[in-house]
Amino acid sequence: MGTVHTQAVVRRRAVVSGEVQGVGFRANARAEARRLGVGGFARNLPNGTVQVEVEGPDALVETMLNWLQRGPRWASVDTGTVTVVAWVFGWGALLFALLGARNLLGS
């Protein structure tokens, strides 16, 4: 039987500001998340920031958070805040969704 490796699964919420909308930030965040094998979502917020929630093994989530501080080459990240969020959905590497502001407002 193979060795089973277990790592703590964590979920973090990051809100990134700067020139982060209209520059492919969310699509590139999804590509990076898929490359790393983490799940979650990214969505534009009405105030011009991008909210990203990332879920997966702690080390991979930290790598994704580091990427969010830079973003894609077309973006200009000014600041970001990170919040610990309860692990709820269990998306893991199964899904990284792009959501719009309409999803945030429940429409």
Catalytic residues: 26, 44
Q: Please state, as a whole number, how many other Cβ atoms lie within 10 Å of the Cβ of residue 59.
A: 12
Nearest to 25 by CA among 92, 83, 80, 82: 80
Q: Distance (Å, rounded) from C-alpha 79 to C-alpha 18? A: 7
